[in-house]
Amino acid sequence: MNLVIQSLIFSMKKGTKYKINTFSWFVADIALYSSVFLLYLLLGLGLDNFGDYSKAEMLLYISTYSLVNNLYAVLFSEGVSAYSENIMNGYFVYDLLLPKRVLFSTVMKTINFPPLLSTPFLIGINVCLLLSYSLSASVVALYILSLIAGAFSILFLFVILYTFQLFKVRTAVLSGLVLDMLELSEKPDSVFPKKVRDFFTFIIPAFLMSALPSRIVLGRISVFELLWVFSAPFFLYGLFRLVFWWGIRKYESEVE
């Protein structure tokens, strides 16, 4: 916990040092999120629903997606990039010497300050949308935990992908493809065929960022889906450990 606090302080100092960059990131984030909300508001003028989501439900869906995306960007995006770069440039060998586990030392203790500035904006919209539903405390708790689980699932998906660099696999194209697929989570899942929905739920966990947490609030999630929301991060972490264990035996640093 102390390392996380130190990382947040360091990130804030860095953000305030480069004020223009931080402000530009903040403006870009707010513009991006606002444009998505505005797009669906405009589309709602000519549509009665989006798949099996009403107009109001779709706004909650987009708000959920935006929050999980923002949570991942704040907590993990910078660390995941550093993890990938260290493997590619050979400095990963020094990460292996750290007393903490590599995943914590290089990823989980790194806070990205600029996207944190837009978090209150997204939380405010999300809370306003949630207030239109009569929700029990247990449902709210499950929803909040599902947002966290979604961010962790995306984290482990990317570190699994980048861990294949230990086998000298170039992952740039693959990571771009995964990013494109994850962007589908912004779209209503119900407009896709069942096989496509299942693929982007259980193989590429895109809809863990949007559809499944939203369905918790709407009361339209199955027991199996609910179990998957909270078991997916553990499954993906276990897969990461397996790939990491296998890859570390193949890794050869080029640093002299």
Give the distance, in angstroms, between the CA of residue 101 and the centroid of all CA atoms in the same chain: 21
d(CA 152, CA 65): 14
DSSP alpha helix (H) spans, the chain: 2-17, 19-43, 55-72, 78-89, 92-95, 102-103, 113-116, 119-130, 137-163, 172-182, 194-198, 211-218, 223-248
State residue 7's pLDDT score: 58
Please tell me which residue, 254 or 72, carries the higher pLDDT value.
Answer: 72
Please tell me which residue, 89 or 146, carries the higher pLDDT value.
Answer: 146
| 239 neighbors 255 (Cβ within 8 angstroms) | no
Q: Read off the pLDDT band of 194 (50, 70, 90).
A: very high
Burial class (CB in 10 A: 0-12, 13-18, 19+), 33: buried
User: In whole numbers, what is the pLDDT of the chain averaged over residues?
Assistant: 86
Give SS3 for 51. Answer: coil
State residue 255's pLDDT score: 44
**The token pair that represents 195 in the structure block:** 């096989």
Please tell me which residue, 99 or 11, carries the higher pLDDT value.
Answer: 11
Q: Read off the pLDDT band of 5 (50, 70, 90).
A: low
Max mean pLDDT among 36-45, 76-85, 93-102, 138-147 falls in: 138-147
d(CA 43, CA 24): 28
Residues in the chain: 256
Q: What does the pLDDT look like over 8-24, one tens digit per residue? A: 555 555 556 656 777 88
State residue 21's pLDDT score: 75
- How far, in Å, are 14, 23, 26 from residue 20 at the CA level? 11, 5, 10
Residue type, 104: F
State residue 81's pLDDT score: 87
Predicted confidence (pLDDT) at residue 231 exceeds the cutoff of 70: yes
Q: What does the pLDDT look like over 114-144, one tens digit per residue? A: 888 899 999 999 999 999 999 999 999 999 9
State residue 23's pLDDT score: 81
Burial pattern 125-140, b for ≥16 Cβ within 10 A else e, equals bbeebbeeeebeeebe
d(CA 143, CA 214): 8
Tell me the average pLDDT across 169-181.
Answer: 85
Predicted confidence (pLDDT) at residue 256 exceeds the cutoff of 50: no
Q: What does the pLDDT look like over 22-41, one tens digit per residue? A: 788 788 889 989 999 999 99
- Give me the residue spans of the domains in the chain: 2-248
The answer to whether the predicted template modeling score (pTM) of the entire model surpasses 0.85 is: yes
Tell me the average pLDDT across 43-62.
Answer: 90
Q: Read off the pLDDT band of 176 (50, 70, 90).
A: confident
